[in-house]
Structure 1
Amino acid sequence: MSKDNGTVLGQTLRDYAKKAEVEVDFQPFDAREPFVAQTLAELSRAYDLSILEASVLMRPLIESVLFESGRPLLLFPPDNFSGRIDAVAVAWDGGATVARALTGARLLLEQVSRVVLISVTDDKQIDERARDRFATALRKAGLAVDIAAVQTKGNSPASVIQAAALERKADLLVAGAFGHSRLREFLLGGVTRSLLTHLEMPTLLCH
């Protein structure tokens, strides 16, 4: 059944690629069930980024690619999101993981016209000067840049960031992945884990 489903999905991808005039290539691989996620992460290292659906079924693959590929991961909600990416929201906390995510999103940022930097001010201390410095660099690159400071007010930071991004008509969210250790992030229920659990918009993550 899985092979039959794969055949149908493969043909669907070919049909969409043909309409979009995009070249598509399939790379099959053999792996026993416990090693599928690890194998996918290893294959992902050869490419600029991976694209996966943020569903419960895909969680082992998502975490493996996110932590072990060394490449950015673009997640889409299970709903049918499609369209031009013209505005990008950045979950800005000034950390190194955000910097890596922005490097991974460089190809996408070159195609957009507007960026909004979103900071959750009651979750952790924000270095406003560093944020303003980055905003200035983006403006010099020809982008319109907005800065948004939001508060959780008892809600999860991930939901507040996504709500702020959607309110500002962003097509994509860029965020760093797991600022703390994986164990601590799991215990604290951090932003990244919330994004993986309740993704509301296309999101690019980088660890």
Structure 2
Amino acid sequence: MASLCLATYPDANSPKIAENAVALVKQIDAALHAVAINVDIPDVSNALSSYLLDLPHKIREVEATSRKCGSVLLEAIAKAAAHGGVTLTTQLLTAPPALMGDVAAEQSRYFDVCLAGWAPGNQTARMIAEAILFGSGRPALLLPDSTDVGVLDHVVIAWDGSRVAARAVADARAFLEHASMITVVTVTDEKPLPGQDIDERLAQGLRTRGLVAEAASIQAGDRSIGTALQEHALKIGGKLLVMGGYGHSRVRDFVLGGATEGILADLRLPVLLSH
């Protein structure tokens, strides 16, 4: 079962998320639960604010815009699901702007994988994705808002032998089992690694399980680790990048690892992040 939490305000997801989410869950034979989180702004009106700024009216306008975006997105998903033969359930929730990520994380805990749309500069989508990654206990799969997902037949695993990387591999099982090729990639010049040929060791373990897997070692050079991994994945025809999500949250501020920050800052293909 997959969930999809939709950003509605101030930066809404693109309707493209409907096609991409349905195409993805169909590939792993999953059902989809789509949640539109509409903004609910607390009433801060008083006589002065009503007279000078007409805040109650502005709040109503903002909330109406959010509800409209949520309805449009859910309608698009319902249409795509019906066309693709995907089982769909939908839900409407409301939350204050600062708590939209918390609500998304709480809802996501009931599903196996959590989808989130992604577009450059969409801070609402980023807030929701980070909250799901660090607060749901489930893997977060980021989908580019502007391109077609396509068939995720080549999965690239970013492997450094760490706990979070191992967790990511386990969380990606459904995608690995449906892939025709898996490439295990280790970046050798970014940090000390826990042994030699760790990429080949994981690839061999996957082959023992009946999967088609190979190993590859790369160097990041002067590129960020997130850029290096995505560029190599695209170079070899990778359709999905699987990696551990490094970082932790302090209240509602997220302290991210370098690779995670690089992915969130410049997403170039679908990425499954697991914390």
TM over 0.5: yes
Structure number, greater radius of gyration: 2
Counterpart-to-counterpart distance in 1, 2:221 and 2:100 = 40
Match of 1:140 among 189, 205, 208: 208
Residues 83-135 of structure 1 show CA distances to partners (whole Å, capped at 9, x for unaligned) of 21111001111110011111111111111121101111110123234433221
Higher relative contact order (CA 8 A, sep 6+): 1
Matches within 5 A, 1:29-178: 29-55=93-119, 56-57=122-123, 58-126=125-193, 127-178=195-246
Which secondary structure does the structure 2 equivalent of 1:29 belong to? strand
Counterpart-to-counterpart distance in 2, 1:182 and 1:135 = 32
Normalized against structure 1, the TM-score is what?
A: 0.92
Shift of 1:31: 2.2
Identity rate of aligned residues, in percent? 34
Normalized against structure 2, the TM-score is what?
A: 0.70
1:25 correspondence with 2:93: no
Amino acid at match of 1:160: A
Residues 159-195 of structure 1 show CA distances to partners (whole Å, capped at 9, x for unaligned) of 11111111111110000011x6568x958x6010110
Counterpart-to-counterpart distance in 1, 2:155 and 2:178 = 10
Give aligned pairs, total.
204
Contact 2:152–2:179 (CA<8 Å) still a contact in 1?
A: yes
Displacement over 3 Å in runs of 4+:
180-183
Contact 2:169–2:242 (CA<8 Å) still a contact in 1?
A: yes
CA RMSD between the two structures: 1.8
Which secondary structure does the structure 2 equivalent of 1:25 belong to? strand
Segments of 5+ residues of structure 1 without an aligned counterpart are none
Segments of 5+ residues of structure 2 without an aligned counterpart are 1-64
Amino acid at match of 2:221: K
Which residue is equivalent to 1:202?
A: 270
